[in-house]
Chains A and B, each alone.
Chain A
Amino acid sequence: MTGSLQEVPRGDPERRLLKGERSESLGEPARRRLAGFGRTLRDNGFHIGLAETRDAATVLTSPAAIQPASLKPALRALFCATHSDWERFDEIFDAFWLGRNMRQRQILSGMPSAPHAPARRLAEAHVPQQLLELPDHTEQRTDSAETPVDGRGHREGASRTELLTATDLRHIVDPDEIAATHALASRLARIMRVRLVRREQIRKRGRRLDLRRTIHRNISHGGTLVDLAWRRRKIKPLRLVVLLDASGSMSLYTAFFVRFLHGVVDAFREAEAFVFHTRLAHVSPSLRDRDVTRAVEKLSLMAQGIGGGTRIGDSLATFNRWHARRVINSRTAVMIVSDGYDTGAPSQLSVEMRRLRRRCKKIIWLNPLIGWRDYAPQARGMQAALPYIDLFAPAHNLASLAALEPYLARI
């Protein structure tokens, strides 16, 4: 949707279009200004089609609208589509029409401008640098038995795949293997979605009579209801909200989970993703980018360069306060991926976990450390959170993620 709007050729067709309409009284300079205003708004991330510009021209020429006082609210109602548009409109309008700080401020800071990078370059781009540079873990180098280095050439073979799914993600350091792991992760996310849907369809069975269809079918029986039509309860797809810990202690796993996250957001029709370390960031919009490489690159940048520990409690508080209402419904599973090392107060984490528990259907906590030998959830944060968790599961390799699927299907 966004793409097709952005592709509207700028300037000329718009002016031509305006000319053709009933805007005879709108002079050429005014038309040009209006087209320019539309362009400026688009540069600031507004989604404006030709219809809006045309309507704007109509409004400008209407005798009822010439008072300047009503011009701004009229154009605002016309051009805005979301609350964020609404909040920025006045500033852009003033800048453009009243010439305040015009040049410098046409593109306001922090606006998501249309991606200017040519698509070809992105398609050619390989796995981004950030993903390749997994932090050094030299003592676990590839000479360990389960990750042979000579995998080149039959990377996609079945046995190879099997091996990769069982290997602790920390131990995968070869760039090729990393790429293969990421491909597996996104495929896994997709498979999870497909299976969920299929199960829903098998489960469907009539619960209520569908009168409309029943009557239609039984007209030939003289209205005697011989052949009944049933109505099935529609099963809403599970919504998945993933909160990914991207702190230093998780860095060995972050790059991999970012990939998994992309797969999940892409495959589940309803999924939202957040990344947190000391703060919480909503990352679904960047993940919706169809270009996997670009999306993962963006996100890895966000998740990168973090020191100063994890504030899980704080991040959850932000989530509960600002995002929960919008992203959580009655069929939402919240998946937290973290090792539970919290530098904040455990009491806060416990309070926020309780709040979250009340809102959603299930809380799943994935902890990569569970896969380690002799692990016990002793971190204080983990202890505080445990009472509110429905499923506490390992996530150190692909097999452990795959094991989640039957659980999600049952929710």
Chain B
Amino acid sequence: MTLKREEIADKLAAAGYVADRDIATALWLMDFLKRPLLLEGEAGVGKTEVGKALAAVHGAELIRLQCYEGLDQNAALYEWNYQRQLLAIKARENIGENADAIEEHIFSEKYLLERPLLAAVRRDKPPVLLIDEVDRADEEFEAFLLELLSDFQVSVPELGTIKATAIPRVVLTSNATRELSDALRRRCLYHYIDFPDVDREAKIIFTRVPGIDATLALQIARMVAAVRKEDLRKVPGVAETLDWAATLFGLEMHDLRQEPEAIYETMICLLKTQEDRARVTREVSARLLGKVA
């Protein structure tokens, strides 16, 4: 079942994910050791994309859990179907069943609503479980995740422990807005994703914006790399680059030098705070353009 490293690299490319050199190894290792993979990196470097691409590589279902402050077990693991439970209680009481029997009945799997984590351990074919931005969840939730990540099982108090039928491939991503616990880190393999270098970014643009000129893609990648070196509050990510490339492509531009004014104006795709916008003035934009194009 385990794919070879080269196969993973090929399939990633086929899935439209332009991988950095070593990610294929990390993904292979994940399968080989049956361990989760923790991805860290700046916002917008394409961490979430790795999860999606991995699902494509294995032809597996992608189950995604977006973490947020206050995420609790009800939203992440399971919930009971209250309406059905209430109906069942009424119906069964009318036919004279006693309370214990009713309780046993309404807390059975039939009334259980799956949430992402439970879904991930109950699939027959191993899915890819993407736990996105785990640093946004509370410490309590992180601790709760540990059971899942080390033993691939979850506890539902009313039902008992549910063991994974097939071990899911787990990818966690973090933007490092909060330090993750050592315990969580120890259970995971680690990969740090950096902003792509110019060549790789050009390749990404080329793959994702169909029909774009290769030279224009390269120019855009160079320009974005230069913008990232400026002192910005929010450094543009790959998604921003793609937006910008699509915009310029839509404007039927073939060369960045062609219309400096349009470049400056469309740069709102890259710069998303007022402060950054003010920092990259027409002059700065022209200077960067002069350097890269």
Question: A residues touching B (Cβ–Cβ < 8 Å)?
Answer: 1-2, 47, 49, 51, 55, 58-59, 62, 64-65, 70, 73-74, 76-78, 80-83, 85-87, 211-212, 215, 219-220, 222-223, 234, 236, 325-326
Contact = CB atoms under 8 A, between A and B. Distances in A.
B1 to A, nearest CB: 13
A402 B220 CA distance: 57
B89 A77 contact: no
Contacts of A58: 32-33
A86 B189 CA distance: 11
Given A78-B189, A80-B190, A81-B185, A326 B177 contact: yes
Contacts of B26: 73-74, 77
Interface string B82-98: 10011001100100000
A55 B30 CA distance: 11
B177 A222 contact: no
B32 A62 contact: yes
A83 B182 CA distance: 13
B165 interface: no
Contacts of B28: 64, 70, 74
Given A59-B33, A62-B32, A219-B106, A73 B22 contact: yes
Most chain A CB atoms below 10 A, which of B28, B70, B179, B190: B190
Contacts of A222: 89-90, 93
Most chain A CB atoms below 10 A, which of B26, B29, B138, B179: B29
Contact of B189 (A65, A77, A83, A87): A77
Contact of A55 (B22, B33, B79, B192): B33
B279 to A, nearest CB: 13
Contact of B29 (A59, A236, A325): A59
Contacts of B4: 64
B89 A211 contact: no
26 contacts: A1-B182, A1-B183, A2-B182, A73-B21, A73-B25, A73-B26, A74-B25, A74-B29, A76-B22, A76-B190, A77-B25, A77-B190, A78-B29, A78-B33, A80-B192, A82-B40, A83-B176, A86-B190, A87-B192, A212-B74, A212-B79, A212-B80, A219-B106, A222-B90, A223-B86, A326-B178
Contact of A82 (B70, B178, B190): B190
Interface in B198-234: none
Interface in B21-66: 21-22, 25-26, 28-29, 32-33, 35, 37, 40
A236 B32 CA distance: 40
A63 to B, nearest CB: 10
Contacts of A59: 29, 32-33
A392 B189 CA distance: 47
A76 B80 CA distance: 42
Contacts of B80: 211-212, 215
B-side interface size class: 35 or more
Nearest to B176: A326
B186 A49 contact: yes
Nearest to B233: A321
A217 to B, nearest CB: 11
B122 interface: no
B278 to A, nearest CB: 13
Contacts of B163: none
B82 A211 contact: yes
Most chain B CB atoms below 10 A, which of A78, A87, A215: A215
Given A64-B32, A83-B40, A326-B178, A77 B191 contact: yes
Interface string B1-33: 010110000000000000001100110110011
B102 interface: yes
B56 to A, nearest CB: 20
B99 interface: yes
Given A70-B28, A74-B26, 17 more contacts: A55-B33, A59-B33, A65-B5, A70-B25, A73-B25, A73-B26, A74-B25, A77-B26, A77-B29, A77-B190, A83-B40, A215-B82, A215-B106, A219-B103, A325-B177, A326-B177, A326-B178
A86 B82 CA distance: 47
A311 B214 CA distance: 49
